[in-house]
Amino acid sequence: MRLLALAILSFMFSLTMFSQHPDRMLFRVAVKEGATIFTDELQNLYVLEGDNVRKFLPDGSLQYEVSPKAFGEVSWADFTDPLRPLLFYRDLGKLMVLDNTLSEQGQALDLFNNGTIQPWMVCTSGDNHYWIYDLSNFELLRIDRAGRVISRSGNLVQICGKVPVPVSMMERNSELYLLDEEYGLFMFDVFATFIRVEPRAASGSFMSISSDFISVQFDHEVCFFNRPVNGITSPECRSLPEGARQLVFSKNRYYILLATRVEVYVYGQR
């Protein structure tokens, strides 16, 4: 717990003092307006711009760039697993699995064909499985690579009395986190069993999960929550760096998306 506190304090110090005493900048990347950024467990940086995806190595060099044209603009992506990133096309109900070179792995999975009436959000799960949130049934589905349902949550309105419409969804260490702007952070185990909801994350627009904490981004601040799903304490919050549109964490790095660039910093080093 002491190490966790030190890690969070280091991040908070970096963010609070960003304009006067920044941590060491590693590199910066030019992006288009409206871009979204992601990272994986190897600290690679991914920039999503419409239907275009670029992958940058931890040293800042561009490794791959692809523009899959088959399904149009990407609605959501999950690059947590560098060996099988996901691209999701909501309107068409398509889930495209890539490899570490951003090449397509087989045909895209048609989520409409597997019984998902309104696929709203997707993310990677362990054992080559995927999570789907079906907005029509307010239900989480864990599926295999063939689209077969492995486990399901049941109707969440009946289970927890709320109607989540996730803006972000991620799995870490067999724990699934679903961020909803109205109700907060929903938590589930790998069997889609509901654990609890953290209302202090309500109004959050994006989350990033490290090994020790979950960061939830709000309009003007970022708040840090402890990782244990049954032991989240009061979050520590700090103002966002000026002009920041997205803030992502990976191990000892943080990635700041500004209007037309991404700045990558390492914390705890001067």
User: Is the pLDDT assigned to residue 22 strictly greater than 80?
Assistant: no
Instruction: Note the pLDDT tens digit of each residue in 112-149.
Output: 887 778 999 999 999 899 999 999 999 999 999 888 99
More confident residue, 237 or 62: 62
Q: What pLDDT does residue 72 have?
A: 84
Q: What pLDDT does residue 75 have?
A: 93
Give the model's confidence band at 173: pLDDT under 50 very low, under 70 low, under 90 confident, else very high: confident
Instruction: Note the pLDDT tens digit of each residue in 88-106.
Output: 999 999 999 999 999 999 8
Give the model's confidence band at 209: pLDDT under 50 very low, under 70 low, under 90 confident, else very high: confident
Strands 36-39 and 24-30: unpaired
Q: What pLDDT does residue 233 have?
A: 63
Residues 42-58 have a mean pLDDT of 96
Give the model's confidence band at 268: pLDDT under 50 very low, under 70 low, under 90 confident, else very high: low
Helices (H), 110-255: 156-160
Cα(131)–Cα(192) distance, integer angstroms: 9
Decide if 10 contacts 268 (C-beta within 8 A): yes
Q: What pLDDT does residue 18 have?
A: 46
DSSP conformational letter for 73: S
Decide if 177 contacts 187 (C-beta within 8 A): yes
Of 92-101, 207-216, 217-226, where does the model show the most confidence?
Answer: 92-101
User: Is the pLDDT assigned to residue 15 strictly greater than 60?
Assistant: no
User: Is the pLDDT assigned to residue 204 strictly greater than 90?
Assistant: yes
User: Is the pLDDT assigned to residue 229 strictly greater than 80?
Assistant: no
Residues 153-159 have a mean pLDDT of 95
Q: What pLDDT does residue 31 have?
A: 97
The DSSP code sequence of 3-34 is HHHHHHHHHHHHHHTTTTS--EEEEEEE--TT
Of 261, 270, 267, 196, residue with least CA distance to 238 = 267
Instruction: Note the pLDDT tens digit of each residue in 248-264.
Output: 998 889 999 999 999 99
Mean pLDDT of the chain: 87
Looking at the DSSP bridge assignments, the partners of residue 55 are 46, 64
User: How much is the pTM?
Assistant: 0.88
At 193, list the tokens.
């069993």
Helices (H), 98-243: 156-160
